[in-house]
């Protein structure tokens, strides 16, 4: 059972202030993935995902929603910038590499799940191999039948004693000799678009042709256990099952967060760096509509992959996108500018708020950094004012201002005699006052 929309929003609220409309839209889109899976097969194939566009200025939480969302959903997820792509025929990445990257994310996700399933069995096999390394097997000798039975009993008892010690952690520093496979030097090629996986395929081909060499290495039991655990886990995982399950997961649950979508908007240009903007949109269209992309793991259909696009749309607007592409993003959510009160909440409410981060960083030097209520209000006031009078960069302005306020404490931290530092309104204005007065410089420094 996946999280309900209310649970998703509650989790996002722990890290992101405001933007309830965007959080709700994203939560509903994610929940609809689960709802679709409960439908009969004949209906399921006709229910297409309702892709979203998040519209809002920089620093209001668009990318942060994507980051936190990736941690919440147990589905293949990638965040990628639209500016990385060029249309087919130009140097750069083609849009189909989005699905190839998403498939790789799915493979990694499924493999991690299967590692957890075989963990116990792998641990048992590792212990057996460690015992073999610790107890060198005796060479076959012409034992009498009675002697052979006695020796067998003796070896069994010794092995049981060693296993008890091994499980108790008494042999962690004991040296063992382990034959380790020498990996060939990776083969790399620099190729045109659509060839990102060629170097991987070439490498696997060379691995099969060239015989693998084993090199003995002396390791402690603790170090050998890590190597052996990796080997045994890989051996126990069914690669065909991983690929099959991952492709199914990508096709039915995959989520792509396409950032900076507004940067591929705009009028058609016949020259200059924007020559391929319209081309990127044309190439994106079939991927968003639904097509089959060939990956090194097999063909992947994109009909039911959810696309969440985001952009500031300062110099353009969503209607500047190609009409066909607009139609594939039916849900549009506008994120609001941050107010002075929002800045105040950003500084105090999130689980890992900026003020808490700075306090914890300086605590490592023994410095007790305390932000008073009026100090935090002064930071919020200044951030809001600078955003209003110069370029509005949203919550990112708080990073700049806070860094300037605690710069001297951070520098002097290890050498401070008085380790108690109180950041109140007066402290903030003392640090930022001179800069705020020099209006010509404030836009560059803050």
What's the full length of the chain, in residues? 446
The closest alpha carbon to 430, from 355, 369, 379, 356, belongs to 379
| 33 CB neighbour count, 10 Å cutoff | 18
Per-residue pLDDT in tens (0 to 9) along the chain, 446 residues: 578 899 999 999 888 888 889 999 999 998 988 899 899 988 988 888 889 999 988 888 888 888 888 788 888 899 888 888 776 655 567 788 889 999 999 999 998 888 888 888 888 888 888 888 877 654 455 556 666 677 777 777 887 778 887 777 777 778 887 777 665 555 555 444 455 555 555 556 656 666 565 677 777 878 888 888 888 888 888 888 889 999 999 999 899 999 888 888 765 554 555 556 777 888 888 888 888 999 888 999 999 999 999 888 877 888 888 888 888 899 989 888 888 898 899 898 888 888 999 999 989 988 898 999 999 999 998 888 888 887 788 888 888 889 989 988 888 888 887 888 898 889 888 888 777 765 555 555 66
The closest alpha carbon to 171, from 122, 219, 121, belongs to 219
Distance CA 438, CA 82 (A): 38
Sequence-ordered strand ranges (E) for 73-125: 77-81
pLDDT of residue 103: 92
Counting beta carbons within 10 angstroms of the beta carbon of residue 164, is it exposed (0 to 12), middle (13 to 18) or buried (19 or more)? exposed
- Segment (H or E) for 255: strand 255-259
Counting beta carbons within 10 angstroms of the beta carbon of residue 233, is it exposed (0 to 12), middle (13 to 18) or buried (19 or more)? buried
Chain centroid to Cα 12, Å, comes to 16
Tokens (6 digits) for 140: 């076959």
User: Given CA atoms 169, 173, 178, 180 in this order, what sign does their dihedral have?
Assistant: positive
pLDDT of residue 192: 47
- Taking only Cα atoms into account, the Rg of the chain, rounded to an integer number of angstroms, comes to 29
| Structural domains in the chain, sorted by start | 5-105+246-334 (3.40.50.300), 134-139+147-244 (no CATH), 340-434 (1.10.8.60)
Segment 373-378 long-range contacts (CB within 8 Å, at least 24 positions apart): 374/424, 374/425, 375/422, 375/423, 375/424, 375/425, 375/427, 375/428, 376/344, 376/347, 376/348, 377/344, 377/425, 378/424, 378/425, 378/428, 378/429
* C-alpha distances out from residue 289 to 48, 64, 212, 222, 327, Å: 9, 26, 45, 51, 10
pLDDT in tens, 283-292: 888 888 888 9
Tokens (6 digits) for 174: 């004991």
Complete DSSP assignment for 257-308: EEE-GGGG-S---SSSTTTTHHHHHHHHHHHHH--EEEETTEEEE-TT-EEE
Tokens (6 digits) for 338: 């941050």
Distance CA 303, CA 47 (A): 10
Do 44 and 292 form a contact (C-beta atoms < 8 A)? no
Phi, psi angles (nearest 5°) of residue 274: -95, 10
Do 276 and 93 form a contact (C-beta atoms < 8 A)? no
Do 155 and 141 form a contact (C-beta atoms < 8 A)? no
What is the pairing mode between strands 306-311 and 331-334? unpaired
DSSP 4: P
pLDDT of residue 57: 84
| 363 CB neighbour count, 10 Å cutoff | 13
What is the pairing mode between strands 420-423 and 306-311? unpaired
Tokens (6 digits) for 223: 């170090």
Chain centroid to Cα 354, Å, comes to 21
Model's pTM, two decimal places? 0.77
Complete DSSP assignment for 334-398: EPPPP-HHHHHHHHHSSTT-HHHHHHHHHHTTT-EEEE-HHHHHHHHHHHHHHHHHS---TTHHH
Tokens (6 digits) for 24: 């709700």
């Amino acid at each position: 059972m996946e999280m309900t929309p209310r649970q998703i929003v509650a989790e996002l609220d722990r890290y992101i202030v405001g933007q309830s409309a965007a959080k709700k839209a994203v939560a509903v889109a994610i929940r609809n993935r689960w709802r679709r899976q409960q439908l009969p097969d004949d209906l399921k194939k006709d229910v297409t995902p309702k892709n979203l566009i998040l519209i809002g200025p920089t620093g209001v939480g668009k990318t942060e929603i994507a980051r936190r969302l990736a941690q919440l959903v147990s589905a293949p997820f990638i965040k990628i910038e639209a500016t990385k792509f060029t249309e087919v025929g130009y140097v750069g990445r083609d849009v189909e590499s989005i699905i190839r990257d998403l498939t790789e994310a799915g493979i990694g996700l499924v493999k991690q799940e299967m590692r957890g399933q075989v963990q116990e069995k792998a641990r048992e096999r590792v212990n057996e191999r460690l015992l073999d390394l610790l107890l060198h097997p005796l060479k076959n000798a012409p034992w009498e039948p009675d002697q052979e039975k006695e020796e067998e009993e003796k070896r069994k008892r010794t092995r049981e004693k060693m296993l008890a010690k091994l499980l108790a952690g008494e042999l962690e520093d004991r040296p063992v000799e382990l034959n380790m496979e020498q990996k060939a030097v990776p083969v790399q090629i620099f190729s045109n678009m659509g060839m990102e996986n060629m170097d991987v395929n070439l490498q696997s081909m060379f691995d099969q042709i060239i015989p693998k060499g084993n090199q003995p290495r002396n390791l402690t039991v603790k170090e050998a256990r890590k190597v052996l655990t990796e080997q045994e886990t890989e051996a126990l995982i069914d690669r065909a099952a991983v690929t099959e399950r991952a492709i199914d997961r990508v096709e039915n649950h995959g989520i792509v967060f396409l950032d900076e979508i507004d940067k591929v908007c705009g009028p058609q240009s016949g020259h200059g760096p924007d020559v391929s903007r319209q081309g990127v949109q044309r190439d994106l269209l079939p991927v968003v509509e639904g097509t089959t992309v060939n990956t090194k793991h097999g063909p992947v259909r994109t009909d039911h992959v959810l696309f969440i696009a985001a952009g500031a749309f300062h110099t353009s607007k969503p209607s500047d996108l190609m009409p066909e592409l607009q139609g594939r993003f039916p849900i549009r959510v506008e994120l609001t500018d941050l107010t002075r009160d929002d800045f105040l909440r950003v500084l105090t409410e999130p689980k890992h708020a900026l003020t808490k981060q700075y306090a914890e960083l300086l605590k490592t030097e023994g410095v007790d950094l305390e932000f008073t209520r009026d100090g935090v209000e002064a930071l919020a006031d200044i951030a809001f004012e600078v955003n209003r009078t110069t370029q509005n960069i949203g919550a990112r302005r708080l990073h700049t201002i806070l860094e300037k306020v605690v710069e001297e404490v951070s520098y002097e931290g290890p050498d401070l005699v008085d380790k108690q530092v109180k950041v109140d309104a007066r402290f903030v204005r003392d640090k930022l006052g001179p800069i705020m007065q020099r209006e010509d410089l404030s836009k560059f420094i803050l």
